[in-house]
Each structure stands twice: as C-alpha cells, then as structure tokens.
Chains A and B, each alone.
Chain A
C-alpha cells in the first residue's frame, strides 16, 4: 500500500489498544472498539473449531465406506459443525466484530448507546458458547443444528446444555441488536441525516431489526424443546396430541431470518468496499439502503420454504415460494447497484476488492440456486440433498465469509494501525475463492444426482464428486493458513498504515489508526454524503491506492 500523501505515516503513541493496560482493563472495558476486538478473537476461535469439524467431515466422505470415524461420531460432528458455525460464528461475526468496532466510528459517536449492555452481550456470548460447546462435546449431541422434534426430544444424547447455550447466545444477539438500533437513532453526529448514514450502518440497522424481532422466538422454541426433552409435556409429541410440524414452523420463523442476520451485514461490507475501491460514489444509495430493509421485512414471511415436504398445504407452499423469490428481487437490486458502481470506476484490485468480486459471484450463484430451491416442484427433488447443502454454503460461506474477509482486510489498518502484505493477501484470496468453488460445485452435482445430506456412507457412484469436494476443501483450508501467517506477521511487524491508507471517504477513516480511546480528537460534524468520491458531473478521480 503506497501512501496517497507524501508524509510518512505515524503510529499514534496513545490509542484505544494501549490507553489502559492489563487483562482486567480488557475484561471490564466498555469501549466498543475493545469489545469488537474481543468478539473478533472469539469468533475466530469458533471459526477455527467449526472449520476443523468441517474438514473432518470432508475427510470422512473421501470414501463411500467409513473412513476415519463411526456413524455416531459423524452425527455428532455435523451437529458440532452446524451449531458452532451458525450460532457461534456466523450470527455474531460481522455485527459483533465490525458492527461493534465501526458503528460508532461511522456515526461520529463516542460509543454505542448502552456500553455496559454491550459488554454484557459479549459475556452472554462467551457463556452461551462455552455451555453449548461443552454440552455438545460431553453429551454427544447428534440432532444437527436444527434440533428437529421428535428426534431431538427422544435422542438418548444430552441436549439441554446446548439448548440453554443457544438461548443465552440468542439473548446476546438481542442485546447487540437493540443497542445498535438505539445507537443509530440517537448518536448520529450533527449533520448526519438518515440519507447520509453509511450503507454498512443501514445493513446493520436492518440486521438488528431481525435480531430483535426474531431471536426471542428461537429462544422460546429451544426452551420448549428442552422442557419437552426433560419433562415430556407433549407439546411436540404426536403420541400426546402434539405436532412436530409446529416445532418446524417456530424454528424456521427465526432460523430463516437468521440467514439475513448473517448475510445483510455482509452486503453492507460489500457496499463499503466496492465504493472505496472503485473510487466512485455508490450507485443507487437509497435503493441499496431500502433493499436491506426490504430483505429484513420479506425474510420474516419466507420460512415455510424449509417445509415444502413437511405436509404444508399447496396454498401455503405456493405463497411461501413466491415470497421467498422476492428476497431474490431485493438481492438483485443490490447486485445491479454494485455492478453499476464498478462501471467506469477507477478500480483498484486489492485484496478486499478480490473478496468483494468473489462475493458478487457467490451471491449471484447462491441466489439463483436459491430461487431454484424456492420453487416447490424442484425442491421436492432437492430437499435434504447435497444440492441444498451446496446452495446454503454458497450464501453462508461463499457470500458471508468473503465479506468477512473483505472487511477484515479493508479495516485491518484502521483496527490495528498496520498493513498486511498485499501480495500474500491476493494469493490467499485466490486459494480461497478457487477452493470454495472446488468444494461446493461438486456438491451441487452430487446432490442433484441424489445424494442425501447427513448420511454417513454413500453409494460408490458418488465417490469421484466427493473426492473432488474434499480436495477443494483442502485448498480452502490452505488459503486460511496463509491468512493466519501473514496477518499475525502484520499485527506485529506490518508497515505503519497511517490514518487512511486506502484513501477511502468512509467517515470511519477520519480518525487516527488505531483510533484514540474516545474515537475522535475533534468534534465530528458531517457536511457531505456518505461515499462521496466526486461531486455530480465530476470525473472519477484516478488515484492508485
């Protein structure tokens, strides 16, 4: 990264990382930036664990017969993988890390509205995650992350600690969402009207609405499963008049919107990155902002598409299918606006931009297959096959992880004041994007050929595609190893970044890197629109970042 100005960048002597010292000062901090950093470390641990479980599953599928584990271990392994990745990584990842770190900086505020609740949400996350992880490992939970009744209420393995852990992590998610909504409403700097807030903030706002409205329902639902498992109250037990499909409705009422808890912040990141690396005003600011709210709204009414083969009426199936496709419309609005932003921009191909391009491919591919699986007649064929697995991994891993990595590279200089090695960044990005495709494209094919998900062994004829998928996943894993190495080096020895190494116009770059404890040395007044790289009619500024 060369500097856009001639001055040698300086590393500030006092910043949020060293303003107070000692472990205790971290554990009791109410500084949103430190809480963001602690979330960062925590979700990376969860991601590492979830990734290891995923690799073990892939190794198991190298051969049609048992390879390295038994059938019960396999069931526990995919449960661990799902629960860890979804509740401990995906849901808190972008809001917990980048939302916490950036929201007040982007709004020109000193902190979030309720700093202590913010710390509480981190502790709740830690407590819930520890409880769920220990519960799963020691109790051998084998229900999958969906906890479907009646299996979950009758499995001989332990479930209660996991459910309680999910409940507590849900509470953490609610607290974060509530805090962010109030912060966006009340702590915008003078001059920042609603149409001037950065698109990442819009995305977080939409996400927070889902977190606040949907999460209580999953909290109640998992507690009901727990009560059912322990007390046999009959609520989901057909033998006592209960209905397991009611569980599915309640579960997906949260868990479908939860997909947007994961993907909306990712879309916010991409809006920021594409603007910054095209050196161009974002195209269709309002449309991108409103489509985030649109996805949040429509997402609440799409849950039934998980239940096309659970005995829903034809009318319900049709309605849920149509509503689900609306999500595709809102997503497409965003994609077209991002592409229009790239058009005639002065594009700087840097690591975050590579990930953003990867994101565009994955969101389109994953979105299109999403329309396909939302079509009832097609879904009957694909339901519970690897096709669905590949589809949601394209969105949840493809899109969300690309955005997470883009965010990590784009804001790394702001968070730590240092730069990573651009060359290695690109190498790792290439491995990850190629490896990802190599992992999941074969899964579409094998699913379409009829391989069901969550099966321990499979017929001989699926071997080659499974081997291809496992080979691809090793490329993916290797890419992450490269990132770990150069990021650790960059943390310690990376060149000093300076306040704004990318020449970005995002408000968060208007302070030092790393920022001081109270975010800004001066009072913030906003006198321009977000992402304003040029005035109307002005040519794109051709600057090599």
Chain B
C-alpha cells in the first residue's frame, strides 16, 4: 500500500488510491488491516505474559519480602504516571474521533498532547529509575539496597526493571509511531474516508496504556 503499489492500484481503481491490487474493496482491506493489528496486539500481550508469569511465581515464593520491596517504590510518582497515561489514552482516542470527523487540526493537536504525555511519562519514569540507581535497588548481581534484604529481594527489582523497562521501550516505540502519524496528519494524508493509520497508532497506544494499568497495581499497590 505504499506509493508505487498504490499508484499501480490507482490505475485500476481511480476512486481510491489507497486500495492495494489484491483487495476488491477498501472495506475489505481496512478489515484485513484491523484484524492484522489486533493479532499483533495479541502477540504483544503474550510477550508481556511471560514476565507476568515470572512475577506471579516469585511473588508466591517470596511473598513477604516482595511486599516490603513494593513499599519502597514511589507510589506518588507511579500514580502520577498512571494518570498521565490514562489521560493520553483519552487524547489519542479524541485524535481518532476528530480525524473521522475531518477536523485535521484538532486531531493533530490531540496527537501532540498524547506525545507530550508520553514524553512526560518517560521523564517521570527516569526520575524513579535514577532514585533506584542511587539506592542500589538494582537487579541481580548489582543489588546493594539495605532497606529490603530478605531472600528474593533482588528478584523484585529484577522483575521491576524488566517489566517497566520493556514497557518503557514500548512507550518509546508508541511515541515514534504517533510522531509518524502526526507527520502524516500534518501533511494532510488523512480524511474521513481514509484514517486507518491513525486508528492503528491509537490502538497500539491503548495497548501500551493497558500494560501499565496492570503493572501499576502489581508493582506499586500490592
């Protein structure tokens, strides 16, 4: 569906330059793309599932120590980040709503908000990380934190850094996708009849948000 292919298709179907040669209708093509995206999101969930499994097992093994360790995380900053991400999910949904209505400028504004929220999340996260580095609350062999010392204490921070690290990586990827979408919105590529990339970028962002919604209570609250 990129330029060369789209131009070739345009010859056969003068009505829609976005229709690839092997699809009959744009509806079918959009359906295919959405289905592909949902499947991809499914793979992302399973990617995180492995880490959630590790979390559950070690939580069970070292219940008491992990409870102590989870108290050492900064609840305030964690909650702030949760609010930031939920709000960003709202703004990205609004971006989708506006592009469907043909309001390109408002869509772009909402995307800018979302990207700023994402950036804000990363800033807060890096503040938290730097505290942990100073305290020595680090994974495995690097662990030299004195507040929590029981068996499995280092594993809590191993799992903490692996899960939030993988999540932060997804925040960065999601941000890059949204920046790309924003650039295309500003170039006027989208219209009420063609807005699938905005939708997909939004879906991906919701996933990033959703993973955090699970991580926050598991790591900070219980």
Rounded to whole angstroms, the CA-CA distance of A246 and B140 in the bound complex is 16
Chain A 236-279, CB-CB to B under 8 Å as 1, else 0, gives 01001111001001100000000000000000000000000000
Rounded to whole angstroms, the CA-CA distance of A217 and B35 in the bound complex is 21
**Chain B residues with Cβ under 8 A from A220's Cβ?**
47-48, 50-51
Q: DSSP class of A's interface residues: helix, strand, loop or mixed?
A: helix
Give the shortest distance, in Å, between A447 (CB) and chain B (any CB): 32
Query: In chain B between 6 and 42, which residues have their CB closer than 8 angstroms to a CB of chain A?
Result: 20-23, 28-29, 31-32, 35-36, 39-40, 42
Chain A, Cβ-Cβ closest to B153: A241
In the complex with contacts A186-B32, A234-B154, A241-B152, A216-B46 CB distance below 8 A? yes
Rounded to whole angstroms, the CA-CA distance of A351 and B40 in the bound complex is 40
Which of A181, A186, A249 is the one whose CB lies under 8 Å from B31?
A186
Chain B, Cβ-Cβ closest to A177: B39
Q: DSSP class of B's interface residues: helix, strand, loop or mixed?
A: helix
Chain A, Cβ-Cβ closest to B138: A233
Rounded to whole angstroms, the CA-CA distance of A186 and B161 in the bound complex is 40
Query: In chain B between 153 and 209, which residues have their CB closer than 8 angstroms to a CB of chain A?
Result: 154-155, 158-159, 161-162
Identify the stretch in B56-64, B78-86, B96-104, B108-116 within 8 Å (CB) of chain A at 4 or more residues.
B56-64
Are the CB atoms of B139 and A231 closer together than 8 Å?
A: yes
Are the CB atoms of B140 and A232 closer together than 8 Å?
A: yes
In this complex, the interface size class of chain A, counting residues with CB under 8 Å from chain B, is 35 or more
Are the CB atoms of B22 and A235 closer together than 8 Å?
A: no
Rounded to whole angstroms, the CA-CA distance of A301 and B154 in the bound complex is 31
Are the CB atoms of A241 and B47 closer together than 8 Å?
A: no
Chain B, Cβ-Cβ closest to A175: B40
Are the CB atoms of A217 and B155 closer together than 8 Å?
A: no
Are the CB atoms of A233 and B140 closer together than 8 Å?
A: yes
Rounded to whole angstroms, the CA-CA distance of A220 and B52 in the bound complex is 11
In this complex, the interface size class of chain B, counting residues with CB under 8 Å from chain A, is 35 or more
Give the shortest distance, in Å, between B19 (CB) and chain A (any CB): 12
Check if B134 is an interface residue, CB within 8 A of chain A: no
Which of B36, B43, B158 is the one whose CB lies under 8 Å from A235?
B158
Check if A174 is an interface residue, CB within 8 A of chain B: yes
Rounded to whole angstroms, the CA-CA distance of A214 and B45 in the bound complex is 11
Check if A111 is an interface residue, CB within 8 A of chain B: yes
Chain B, Cβ-Cβ closest to A117: B36
Check if A215 is an interface residue, CB within 8 A of chain B: yes
Are the CB atoms of A213 and B46 closer together than 8 Å?
A: yes
Are the CB atoms of A234 and B36 closer together than 8 Å?
A: no
Are the CB atoms of A235 and B140 closer together than 8 Å?
A: yes
Are the CB atoms of A221 and B155 closer together than 8 Å?
A: no
Most buried by B among A179, A187, A240, A243: A240
Check if A116 is an interface residue, CB within 8 A of chain B: yes
Rounded to whole angstroms, the CA-CA distance of A109 and B24 in the bound complex is 10
**Chain A residues with Cβ under 8 A from B222's Cβ?**
none
Binding site for B on A (CB under 8 A): 30, 104, 109-111, 113-117, 174, 178-179, 181-183, 185-187, 212-217, 219-221, 224, 227, 231-235, 237, 240-243, 246, 249-250, 518
Binding site for A on B (CB under 8 A): 1-2, 5, 20-23, 28-29, 31-32, 35-36, 39-40, 42-44, 46-51, 53-54, 57-58, 61-62, 139-141, 151-152, 154-155, 158-159, 161-162
